[in-house]
Structure 1
Amino acid sequence: MFKHLLLPTDGSLASEIAIHFAMPFAKEINARVTGVYVIPEYHVIADQFAMAACTKEQFDIESTALTLEFLAVIEREARQAGVICDTEYVVSAHPHEAIIKLAADKECDLIVMASHGRTGVRALMLGSETQKVLTHSRIPVLVLR
């Protein structure tokens, strides 16, 4: 069945719940896991009213800290479950594309990810990376809500 799961995280509670679910599942089916966090690209936001206080260097430092924190959750859960795990990070303005590409590159056969459960206008305005992965992935996707 499934032998290699891709487990994206955004550091949210929903992602942590998905991670907590995915590890016993991976152990049960004897699958390995690759955890991934997609770092957003750095953008300078400036207009006549405000200027971004975050420099590229600050952004890199903060992004690295968050990445390590988010991926450590996956590593800790994998260790506790006895699941073989590696972690990756990718920088991209389009997380869904990065997730799908990494799943293909790593030869994953299932993507397991959380849904924040947004509906209606909020879902339309904020967009849903999970929905985009579901729409574009050729690899099966297990969505946990």
Structure 2
Amino acid sequence: MRAAAPSLRRAGGGVIVNMSSLAGLTAYAGVGAYAASKWGLRGLTKVAALELAPDRVRVCSVHPGAVRTRMTVGFGDAYTTGQPVPRLGEPEEVARMVLFIVTEATFSTGCEFIVDGGILAGAPAALTSDS
């Protein structure tokens, strides 16, 4: 962001999209350093959104869940069991969210966009007390 901001200001505006993770929105045991970096990026995104808004630069963050990448090699079907959309996301789905932020979400800045197959929506029906 530090490197891009001067050019975006000179251009009269633009959009910065930071790639975070669900670990920037909720806790996961065993990944303290990773989660801290993603929570930090979330806060930095909001600060940059406030600081760059007068220059017509929007700043948002994307928070993917498990997406089929080198990082998720070895994740089995059990990883997404109970997730409303019971599969890994595809990189193209995250890319389409970024495209939406840049081209359509023109009144959004400092916002967090989630691409997670519904995992943060809550517990599946089988785990609720009404079952």
TM-score (norm 2): 0.39
Higher relative contact order, structure no. (Cα contacts within 8 Å, ≥ 6 residues apart): 1
Bigger strand fraction: 1
TM-score (norm 1): 0.36
